[in-house]
Structure 1
Amino acid sequence: MTFVMGPALLFCPADRPERYRKAAARADAVILDLEDAVAPADKQRARGAILAQVGSTGEEPELDPSRTIIRINPAGTEEFEKDLHCLAHTPYRTVMLAKAESADQLAALEGYQVVALCETALGVLNAPAIAAAPNVVALMWGAEDLLATLGGTSSRTDDGGYRAVALHARSTVLVAARAFGKQAVDAVYVNIPDTDGLAAEAADAVASGFSSKACIHPTQAAVVQEAYAPSDADVAAAAELLDAAAEAGSGVFRHHGKMIDGPILKHAESILRRAGQKA
């Protein structure tokens, strides 16, 4: 099963099964969260909710496995083992490993496609080794958990922008993921009413190379999707540029007064790929 990694990934508490379908309908993929979104006393009930919607053998689950991620608890914990026992009885084979910190932790997830969530100081430092693991399909970074491991109090400044250390972690995880040909997922935007701020951050994620952005509220998914969808003018310009490159037949050429070479053509190809994704 190939997982469909669209631009907007929406978290949904696993102990709220009444929200499952709504979340899946609003986003490109849904992340059923067994970790932070569920209180310790409710985790077993959350696992039961996932099992309940799968149905009996031979029945189709309520959620499409190719568009569903299960965020599981950190490796080495008792809850992690219980999560894996639960998932063994489901068709879901894409998991998000909370607080991923080493490549060794991925061995216990053989048979699963893993989105490794690098949200601790050690996880960020080991991002390249984690990205190199064969069952890792994507890396995501997390801001607030990271700052907590550093002894900090907030990942953002008063104007809403990230602090330098958070930006460093964001860049490190992105570069590590892309260096090993894996997807990269940008962190959530916690100020839900601030759709303008989300739109700006999502636009930066697109321009920087993130394949997706995680969301914590259904209203955020449409904002992220819009940021990832190229305008008609962008698509037309990219197609024109690639046609000009084919006609020029050389490594470097001039187009509308600008020097065009390989990297610029790759930017244009990226725009057309995103347009196809939304088609």
Structure 2
Amino acid sequence: MTAFGLGPALLFCPADRPERYAKAAERSDAVIIDLEDAVAPDAKEAARAALGDAANTAALDPDRVIVRVNPIGTADHARDLDAVAGTPFRTLMVAKSESTPAIAALPSGYEIIALCETARGVAEAEQLARLDRVVALMWGAEDLVASLGGSSSRFPDGRYRDVARAARSRVLLACGAYGAAAIDAVHLDIADVDGLRAEASDAVASGFAATACIHPSQVEVVRAAYRPSDEEVAWASRVIDAARGERGVFALDGRMVDEPVLRHARAVLARAR
């Protein structure tokens, strides 16, 4: 199963908290076991050992596990790959992906989610999305702004700054152009449920396949945003049914229906399933 066949809510879990792995997987559509930013430098070896121990239990379905590894070129990255190699987990999220040749040179047998969270990574999004083993791109706001020398990805009212919106759009367009899935960034303000709901609703309307979560309470908010309403499903069903008796463009309820509208309807029904 590819990363974006998993469902819309992907939940991060620190790799040095193995007692949380199974619960995170149970509460989400897939768990991202994080060996990078969620783990302090002095805890990374213990985190890798915990990942290896978890592989020997039946608590995790390997098809629903993504492992975020440290950036390519770091000593931690090489150690992460050694640790993952001894597990059945075969979907890697590569932090701070920036080099298409380096991503292409990763060991065979893995599906890759390239995390575009620096200026160089976002600039490389189109080339990364073209790689056969890259099944998805995710973007990240805070590391991106830090790579630019900035201090905040959002305005005080919670809206993304223009540079973050531009990066989000570029990653989404790269995915759409080359057949990869786009994963939307985490919403760091856990208490801001309305903000998360609005961002997740915009994500699915824009074409993102999933949204990453940092807390279990965010999962159902994301799922609800991606789940079509009964009215949307009824509309999509009527459009598809009406198209069976038509050739080319036709009108339904006073609205023109052409191939883009049919594709919208098919996408709604696919999400409903």
Alignment of 1:201-220 (within 5 A): 201-220=199-218
Given candidates 159, 162, 177, the residue that maps to 1:161 is 159
Q: CA deviation at 1:109?
A: 3.6
Deviations 1:208-251 (A, max 9, x none): 00000000000000100000111111111100011111112x21
TM-score normalised by length of structure 2: 0.97
Q: CA deviation at 1:53?
A: 1.5
Name 1:135's counterpart in structure 2.
Answer: 133
Name 2:93's counterpart in structure 1.
Answer: 96
Given candidates 175, 190, 193, the residue that maps to 1:192 is 190
Q: CA deviation at 1:62?
A: 2.1
Alignment of 1:61-80 (within 5 A): 61-80=58-77
Give yes or no for the alignment of 1:8 onto 2:9.
Answer: yes
5+ long unaligned stretches in structure 1: none
Alignment of 1:1-279 (within 5 A): 2-3=2-3, 4-55=5-56, 61-106=58-103, 107-248=105-246, 250-276=247-273
SS of equivalent residue, structure 1 residue 269: helix
RMSD: 1.0
Greater alpha carbon shift after TM alignment, 151-160 vs 101-110: 101-110
SS of equivalent residue, structure 2 residue 149: coil
Residues 36 and 70 in structure 2, CA contact (< 8 A), matched pair in contact too: yes
* Code of the aligned partner of 1:8: A
* Code of the aligned partner of 2:243: A
* Code of the aligned partner of 2:222: V
How far, CA to CA, are the matches of 2:6 and 2:114 in structure 1? Answer: 14
* Code of the aligned partner of 1:184: A
* Code of the aligned partner of 1:181: G
Moved over 6 A (4+): none
* Code of the aligned partner of 1:264: V
CA 6–71 in structure 1, closer or farther in 2 if over 3 Å, else same: same
Q: CA deviation at 1:177?
A: 1.1
* Code of the aligned partner of 2:239: L
SS of equivalent residue, structure 2 residue 11: strand
Deviations 1:47-99 (A, max 9, x none): 000111122xxxx5421111000000000110000001001110000010000
Residues 2 and 135 in structure 2, CA contact (< 8 A), matched pair in contact too: no
Q: CA deviation at 1:2?
A: 4.2
How far, CA to CA, are the matches of 1:167 and 1:258 in structure 2? Answer: 31
Deviations 1:128-187 (A, max 9, x none): 101111110000000000000001110001111111000000000011012111111000
How far, CA to CA, are the matches of 1:87 and 1:62 in structure 2? Answer: 17
TM-score normalised by length of structure 1: 0.95
5+ long unaligned stretches in structure 2: none
Aligned-pair identity (%): 57
* Code of the aligned partner of 1:238: A
* Code of the aligned partner of 2:122: V
Deviations 1:88-120 (A, max 9, x none): 110000010000002112112432100000000
How far, CA to CA, are the matches of 1:167 and 1:109 in structure 2? Answer: 33
SS of equivalent residue, structure 2 residue 199: helix
SS of equivalent residue, structure 1 residue 12: strand
* Code of the aligned partner of 1:62: A
How far, CA to CA, are the matches of 1:156 and 1:8 in structure 2? Answer: 22
